[in-house]
Chains A and B, each alone.
Chain A
Amino acid sequence: MSDDFDGTDELDRAAPPELTADEEALLNEMPTLTDVGQSRRTFLGQTIAGGLGMFALDLLALERSLAALAPSPEAVYAASAAENVVRVAFNVNGVTRTLDLDSRVVLLDALRERLRLTGSKKGCDQGQCGACTVLVDGRRVLSCLTLAATLDGREVTTIEGLANGDQLHPMQAAFIKYDAFQCGYCTPGQICSAVGMLEEARRGDVSHVTEDVAVTTTQLTDDQVRERMSGNICRCGAYPGIVAAIQEVHSGRQTAQTWRFVDEQQLARVRTEDANEAV
C-alpha cells in the first residue's frame, strides 16, 4: 500500500446506479460530501420538500459521492472547496495517511468521509454520546472534538483496526458473545472505549467511584466498569451485556457462550420444515 494516501484508493468503483429522472435532477443539485455544512442542509431541506424520504436521501448522498469520486477524484476535494488547508500525515490503523484538510475537519469526519472508515459513528457530534470514540496514541478520545489538524505524526486506531485479520479483538468477540448491543450504532465507540479503559485500569488509574484514591488497584468491580464507561451512551440499553463483555476481557476468565449461530445445514432444515408446515 502506498504511504501517501490521496483519499481515494479504497473507494468502491461501483457502476453508476440507475436513477429516475427526479432523482437524477436532485442528485445534480446536491453538493458533494466535502461540503457537509450549510449547503448540504439546504439541499436536505429542498429534498424533503420534494417528498423523498430520509432513507432515499442517504442512498442518494452515497451514490452521488461515489459517482463524483470515481471519474475525477481530485475534483471533489479541490482546493476551492476547502479553506485554510492543513496537510496532516498520521498513522491510521497501521498505515500512514497524508491528507490535505480544511482546518475545520475533525478526526471523525476525516475518518468517515476521506478515509472511508465509517465504523466510527457520528451520534451527537458534540462530545456527549461516545459513539465516535477512537484511540489516539493508545488513549481513548472523542474523534468528533479532535481537530484532524492537531494529529500530525499521531497514531489513530479505529474499530476497523482492532481485529488482527480475521481474528476479532477479544473485546469484539466478547461483545458478540454477550449480545452487548441491539442496534449496534454505539458499539464501535463502546468497544474502542472499553479497550482504552482496560488499559487505564491496568495502569491503576482511579475513577469517581474509587473509595481511596491513594490506594492503587487494577481490579474493576461492575460499578467501576459502569462509571468508567459512562462516556458511552447506549439508547437500546444494552448495558448489562456491555458490562459482562468487558468484565470477561478484564478478568481473562472465559465463560461458555450460551448460544451459537446456526450453520447452513441447520438453516436449510428449518426452511424445509417451515415450507412443509405452510403446506
Chain B
Amino acid sequence: MRPFRYVRASDPNAAARAVAANPQAKFLAGGTNLLDLMKEDVERPTELVDLTRLRLADIRATSAGGVSIGALATNTSTANHPIIRRDFPLLTQAIVAGASGQIRNMATNGGNLLQRTRCQYFYDTAMPCNKREPGSGCGAREGLNRIHAIFGWSEHCVATYPGDMANALYALDAVVRVRGAGGRERTIPIGDFHRLPDDTPQRDTNLQHGELIVAIELPKSNFAKNSYYLKVRDRASYAFALVAVAAALELDGGTIRQARVVLGGVAHKPWRSREAEAALSGRPASDESFRRAAEVALADAKPLAHNAYKVELGRRAVVRALMRASKLA
C-alpha cells in the first residue's frame, strides 16, 4: 500500500472541503472495498478523510411515510432497522444477499453505493483497463468476460456494477442526498447516480469530486407486501451476483397496478426495465404475464463471448422473482 495522509473529519462540511482540496484524496468509511483496492495498488489515494466519527448514521421515518437512511449507517443496522424490515423489506433482502456478516457490519450505505467493479481486469494491475488506467484498453472486451455486462456496455468497458443494495433502491425510487464542499446539498435520483461507461469508464458515478453522500431517501412505498430480491451467484453465499433481480409489485386483487423490475450484475449500473414494468401494468399477476415481462426485459441484451448464459438466466430470474414477489411461488 502506498503512503497516505490520514485525516479524521470532525464534521461533514470539513470532510467535503478536505477531499475537494486534494484531487488524490478519498473519503474513508467502512473501507471494505477501498482498503482492498489500495492493497491491490488499484486505488492510490494520497490522503484519506475518515468519516467514521461523523453523525450521519441516523435512520428515521419522514413525515411523508418514507425513510431517510444515513450514509454512514452500516449495512447491518440498515437491513435490520424495524422501519426498513416492515416497510421496505426488499432493501433488507438485497443487503443481506451481499457480502458476509463481518463485511456488512463494517460497510456503510454510502460506501455500498460507491463499490467499484469486480472485473478481474480492473483488479489486475498487469492488465489493461480503461477504468483503472484510461486509454490502456479493455482486457475483458476480448478476454474472459463471463461475469461482465450484457446491457449498456461500450467498447471501452464491459464491467458491471457489483452491488445489491442499489438495485433494490432503484426499485424503491430512492434519491441520494449529497453535500458539496460549499455545504450546498442536492439530490440525485438513484437511477442517475451510477453511469454507463461510454468513453469515460473511469467515472463510476455522477458525484463530483469532494461531494459527500449524506443520506439515502426513500418515499412511501406500496411494495412492502409484494417484493422479492433474487440473487443468482456461483455459490450459495458470499459471492457477487451473476444476475440479480429486484422485483416489486403493487397488486389490486390479482391485478398488477404498478411494477418495478431492476436487474443487477448485468450492466455498469442497476438496470431498470421500464418496458417490462409497462408490460406488467394492468395485467393479472400470473406466470404468463411474468414470462412476457421477462422476454421484454432481456430483449435488448447484447451478450459478450462468454456471458450469453446471462440472457436466459436473466429471463428465468425475472420470472422467478416476480413469482416470489406475488407469492405464486
Q: Which of the segments B102-110, B244-252, B303-311 contacts the partner chain?
A: B102-110
Query: Cβ of B93 < 8 Å from any Cβ of A?
Result: yes
Query: Cβ of A139 < 8 Å from any Cβ of B?
Result: yes
In the complex, how many angstroms separate the beta carbon of B288 from the nearest chain A beta carbon? 26
In the complex, how many angstroms separate the beta carbon of A132 from the nearest chain B beta carbon? 9
* Interface flags, A193-228, vs B, CB<8A=1, else 0: 100110010011111101001100000000000111
Query: Cβ of A31 < 8 Å from any Cβ of B?
Result: no
Q: Is the Cβ of B237 less than 8 Å from the Cβ of A141?
A: no
Please, which residue of chain A has its CB at the minimum distance from the CB of B225? A214
Neighbour of A84 across the interface among B6, B36, B50, B106, CB < 8 A? B6
Contacts of A203 in B (CB 8 A): 80
Q: Is the Cβ of A208 less than 8 Å from the Cβ of B89?
A: no
Neighbour of B36 across the interface among A86, A145, A193, CB < 8 A? A145
- Complex Cα distance A125/B38, Å? 12
* Interface flags, A118-147, vs B, CB<8A=1, else 0: 000000011100100100000111101111
Contacts of A174 in B (CB 8 A): none
Query: Cβ of A93 < 8 Å from any Cβ of B?
Result: no
- Complex Cα distance A228/B86, Å? 21
Neighbour of B103 across the interface among A142, A149, A226, CB < 8 A? A142
Q: A147-B35, A230-B237 are in contact. Are A213 and B105 (CB under 8 A)?
A: no
Neighbour of B237 across the interface among A193, A204, A208, CB < 8 A? A208
* Interface flags, A150-175, vs B, CB<8A=1, else 0: 10100000000000000000000000
Please, which residue of chain A has its CB at the minimum distance from the CB of B123? A126
In the complex, how many angstroms separate the beta carbon of A140 from the nearest chain B beta carbon? 5
Contacts of A177 in B (CB 8 A): none
Q: A206-B79, A231-B238 are in contact. Are A142 and B6 (CB under 8 A)?
A: no
Q: Is the Cβ of A141 less than 8 Å from the Cβ of B105?
A: yes
**Interface size, B (range):** 35 or more
Report how many A-B pairs have Cβ atoms within 8 Å.
114
Q: A205-B76, A206-B92, A214-B89 are in contact. Are A142 and B39 (CB under 8 A)?
A: no
In the complex, how many angstroms separate the beta carbon of A74 from the nearest chain B beta carbon? 21
Q: Is the Cβ of B105 less than 8 Å from the Cβ of A150?
A: no
Contacts of B76 in A (CB 8 A): 139, 200, 205
In the complex, how many angstroms separate the beta carbon of B176 from the nearest chain A beta carbon? 23
Q: Is the Cβ of A104 less than 8 Å from the Cβ of B3?
A: yes
Please, which residue of chain B has its CB at the minimum distance from the CB of A101? B6
Q: Is the Cβ of A193 less than 8 Å from the Cβ of B32?
A: no
In the complex, how many angstroms separate the beta carbon of A84 from the nearest chain B beta carbon? 5
Please, which residue of chain A has its CB at the minimum distance from the CB of B6? A103
Contacts of B97 in A (CB 8 A): 208
Query: Cβ of B282 < 8 Å from any Cβ of A?
Result: no
Q: Is the Cβ of A213 less than 8 Å from the Cβ of B89?
A: yes
Q: A104-B1, A149-B50, A210-B96 are in contact. Are A141 and B102 (CB under 8 A)?
A: yes
Contacts of A126 in B (CB 8 A): 36, 39-40
Query: Cβ of A83 < 8 Å from any Cβ of B?
Result: yes
Neighbour of A200 across the interface among B48, B85, B101, CB < 8 A? B101
In the complex, how many angstroms separate the beta carbon of B306 from the nearest chain A beta carbon? 23
Query: Cβ of A106 < 8 Å from any Cβ of B?
Result: yes
- Complex Cα distance A139/B103, Å? 11
Q: Is the Cβ of B80 less than 8 Å from the Cβ of A206?
A: yes
In the complex, how many angstroms separate the beta carbon of A90 from the nearest chain B beta carbon? 13
Q: Is the Cβ of A196 less than 8 Å from the Cβ of B85?
A: no
Contacts of A102 in B (CB 8 A): 3
Neighbour of B102 across the interface among A206, A210, A231, CB < 8 A? A231
Contacts of B105 in A (CB 8 A): 139-141, 196
Q: Is the Cβ of B100 less than 8 Å from the Cβ of A130?
A: yes
Q: Is the Cβ of A231 less than 8 Å from the Cβ of B103?
A: yes
Q: Is the Cβ of A207 less than 8 Å from the Cβ of B106?
A: no
Q: Is the Cβ of A86 less than 8 Å from the Cβ of B6?
A: yes
Please, which residue of chain A has its CB at the minimum distance from the CB of B229? A208
In the complex, how many angstroms separate the beta carbon of B111 from the nearest chain A beta carbon? 11
Q: Is the Cβ of B89 less than 8 Å from the Cβ of A230?
A: no
Contacts of B102 in A (CB 8 A): 130, 133, 140-142, 193, 196, 231
Contacts of B5 in A (CB 8 A): 84, 103
Contacts of B92 in A (CB 8 A): 206, 213
Spell out A's residues near B (CB within 8 Å). 37, 83-84, 86, 102-104, 106, 125-127, 130, 133, 139-142, 144-147, 149-150, 152, 193, 196-197, 200, 203-208, 210, 213-214, 226-232
User: Which 4 pairs across A and B sit closest by C-beta, in order of nearness?
Assistant: A231-B100, A230-B237, A103-B6, A230-B238
5 inter-chain pairs at a CB distance below 8 angstroms, sorted by A residue, are A125-B39, A145-B32, A146-B35, A147-B50, A150-B50
Q: A126-B36, A126-B40, A150-B31 are in contact. List 12 more A-B contacts (CB 8 A).
A: A103-B5, A133-B102, A139-B76, A145-B32, A147-B31, A147-B35, A197-B101, A206-B92, A213-B89, A227-B236, A230-B101, A231-B101
